[in-house]
Chain A
Amino acid sequence: MTVAAGIVESAHPLLDVEHLTMRFGGLVAIDDVSFAAAPSDITAIIGPNGAGKTTVFNCLTGFYRPTVGRLTLRRNGQEHLLERMEGHHIAQAGVARTFQNIRLFSQMSVLENLIVAQHNKLMGASGFTVLGLIGMRSYSDAEAEAVELAKYWLEKTELVERADDDAGNLAYGQQRRLEIARAMCTEPALLCLDEPAAGLNPRESAELEDLLLFIRDTHDVGILLIEHDMSVVMEISDHIVVLDYGQKIADGTPEEIRKDPAVIRAYLGEEGK
């Protein structure tokens, strides 16, 4: 059984994107794109600049409301229709993301960034602030737990040393890693990474690959990855979706994509395009 066949056969993929279309006025940014992402797979979305990759992310995370289409997230036997939900509900349902231009809370400390990511869990423990204000024990326990989780991801991203520094003072590569750690602190089912390797040097890229594989393998999290660095994509992806001018032109394993004539045409721009 090939991996691609496995995806098609799997009756319950983690994420189903069906007929996704996004128009801005007259501009069609995404045109009837469908694909699926299996749980515990790294699914890469690639394509030339302006192909609509980030727009797919923005639809998935509720930042844009899709013009047409159905986005289904399956978690613990429950189905969430993402296209109808607001951004924060999508996050609560289990979709976490990072941003192409890093968006950290730069004046807050690294640790605080990770605690904020556990907002909803802590909010409940603080009795929606009332119990927390009068200093209830249950809240401080929950906070200690949150710190433990944050510490775990700090260790995985090698940022423990910088825990009390302002996030804005981290080096670029560290900020990228912190953004992934912050997304993981929401304990997601699907992690959407928007160009996580952009601007990283080869050593940092290799570390990133290890981190993503670790997340996939030990935390049972599906990863959706937008990336321009083909070496990273080919190395770690289980499944690749290729977009061009808002349309899906190919979908398959790295092997298949490498050989796909449509993909080669889109990237190398042969005549006839």
Chain B
Amino acid sequence: MRAALKESGLASLVMLALMALMVGVRIADVPGGLEIQWRYADVIAALVSVFFGRLGLILMREGRPMSMAVVGGVVSVVLLVLLVIAPISDAEPHWARAALPFSGYVVNVLLLIVLAALSLRAVAIMRRGPISAPSQASESVMDRISASVQEYSRYIVPFLLAAAILFPFTPLADRQMVDIAILVVTYVMLGWGLNIVVGLAGLLDLGYVAFYAVGAYAYALLATEMGLGFWLCLPFAGMMAALAGVILGFPVLRLRGDYLAIVTLGFGEMIRIILLNWYEVTNGPDGISGIPRPTFFGLPFVRSPAEGVESFHSFFGMTYAPIDRIIFLYYVILVMALITNQFTLRIRKLPVGRAWEALREDETASQSLGINPRNTKLTAFGIGAMFGGFAGSFFATRQGFISPESFTFIESAVILAIVVLGGMGSQIGVVLAAILLIGLPEIFRELQEFRMLAFGAAMVLIMIWRPRGLLAFRAPTIRLFGNGTGKR
């Protein structure tokens, strides 16, 4: 017991050091300088939570889950009641709000979640005895899930596809939801594109946004300067991005994993800085506006088209609805994403695709089998960049305006996170991760300020929990016996 108390004490001491200045004091901007505000109530609440939480954990570990289950359960219920009452009670003073341990509402919710999870675990231990090696157990559960996702992908994929195609016609699809869907699918496409580079070829690219930017600017410049249409520019923008990928990749692709990561990050930033400062061409931080929207085989989506041009709604004899254009954009990106997906699935079964995977597994051995590492990596880098460029063009035409601000490192990190968290190489994993990381935060707008915080935390937690990603499962590209039913 003494040891347990000592350990809990130490844990709260560390917590105190972490919070003493950073949480306990807030720098407030006041006219004429800075002022400090004390926030020690939060620090004390955190210390108490950590002390007792740690103590409870130690007791659980020693096979005495009783106190955790009882105390944790009671406190959870009280917290839950307070959390429900706090926002709805109008009584002054706000007794429910005052009774909550932390000043931030979300922090209280977090505490409740952790506490409730611990109490449930304690109850589980009481009923079934200690759970041995919990991380291993969860590992195998997730492995089984990802294996069965793979196995039933024959049914899951058509279902997802049908859902994606029918989505704009469901009652759910108001303008905002379709917009979010467009965003999610854009990231799915970017994820699938980057997956070629990271998942298949194992090249850690932290500067993928550079190619997204090249595609966007290539289209924007061609369209605004030379008046070319979206569909004409699309292949060209993709080629420009691929070219950029090959030029940047050529000198650096022989670097080892994490060095390559940092160098690609540097390239990403360099391209952004160039876009920011090359006024004559890119218009600097002001960006490029007035980028034309895509047309449906030459039919624009406008209420009153220019002289001699027929618009989409009049051609099909429909009344004009602004959402038509949004839905059209949704289908454009959906088709582009699906092409990326099909391309990846096919190329994986071709010699290049297998060589990518072989290089990822062992470069030395691949070379000893006659695979040219540099060229093979360059194709992966170039093709990945090309899809990034396509997505960039779409981004430009959808927004109608682009500026260097849209192409920061954080975008690269988000796309990489989608690939890695989904499970490297897993196509469905990318969809899942994009919905989780892009869709959910967009829908829960109120939590916007916590979005990136949760994002970073999710990256860390998922990596610790499943270092190979959520749905990491690799099916062989060719089989000697049967086809993929799991049995020989």
User: Which residues from chain A sit less than 8 Å from chain B, CB to CB?
Assistant: 61-63, 86-89, 91-92, 96-97, 99, 103-109, 111-112, 115-117, 119-120, 122-123, 126, 129, 132-133, 135, 139, 143, 147, 150-151, 154, 160, 163-164, 182-183, 186
Contacts and interface: CB of A to CB of B under 8 A. Distances in A.
Contacts, number: 118
Contact of B352 (A96, A99, A115, A123): A123
A111 B367 contact: no
Contacts of B347: 129, 133
B362 interface: yes
B367 A164 contact: no
Nearest to B369: A117
A120 B358 contact: no
A166 B347 CA distance: 20
B110 interface: no
A91 B370 contact: yes
A52 B369 CA distance: 23
23 contacts: A87-B367, A87-B368, A89-B370, A91-B369, A96-B368, A99-B364, A103-B362, A103-B365, A104-B361, A105-B365, A105-B366, A107-B361, A109-B479, A111-B476, A111-B480, A119-B358, A129-B351, A129-B379, A132-B351, A133-B343, A133-B346, A133-B350, A151-B480
A38 to B, nearest CB: 23
B481 A164 contact: yes
B373 A88 contact: yes
A104 B362 contact: yes
Contacts of B67: none
A104 B365 contact: yes
Contact of A111 (B365, B369, B479): B479
Nearest to B357: A108
Q: In the complex, which of the residues B476, B479, B481 has the most CB atoms of chain A within 10 Å of its own CB atom?
A: B476
B368 to A, nearest CB: 5
Contacts of A63: 364
B304 to A, nearest CB: 43
Interface residues of B, number: 31
B480 A119 contact: no
Contacts of A132: 346, 350-351
Nearest to B383: A129
Given A108-B476, A133-B343, A164-B476, A119 B488 contact: no
A116 B355 contact: yes
Given A103-B362, A116-B358, A97 B368 contact: yes
Given A104-B365, A105-B358, A116-B371, 11 more contacts: A99-B364, A105-B366, A108-B361, A109-B478, A115-B354, A116-B357, A116-B366, A116-B369, A120-B371, A129-B351, A133-B346
A119 B362 contact: no
A105 B373 CA distance: 15
Contacts of A111: 476, 478-480
B150 to A, nearest CB: 14
Contact of B365 (A99, A112, A143, A164): A99
A120 B480 CA distance: 21
A122 B351 contact: yes
A72 B370 CA distance: 18
Contacts of A122: 351
B346 to A, nearest CB: 6
B372 interface: yes
Given A115-B354, A163-B480, A164-B480, A120 B370 contact: yes
Contacts of B476: 108-109, 111-112, 164
B358 A186 contact: no
A186 B350 contact: no
A166 B346 CA distance: 21
B91 to A, nearest CB: 61
Contacts of B6: none
B477 A119 contact: no
Contacts of B488: 164
A160 B480 contact: yes
Nearest to A128: B352
Contact of A182 (B343, B350, B369, B480): B369
Q: In the complex, which of the residues B347, B351, B366, B474 has the most CB atoms of chain A within 10 Å of its own CB atom?
A: B351
A112 B478 contact: yes
Contacts of A126: 350-352
A133 B351 CA distance: 11
B190 to A, nearest CB: 21
Q: In the complex, which of the residues B346, B358, B365, B369 has the most CB atoms of chain A within 10 Å of its own CB atom?
A: B369
Contact of A123 (B351, B365, B368, B474): B351
Contacts of B481: 163-164
A252 to B, nearest CB: 29
Contacts of B352: 123, 126, 129
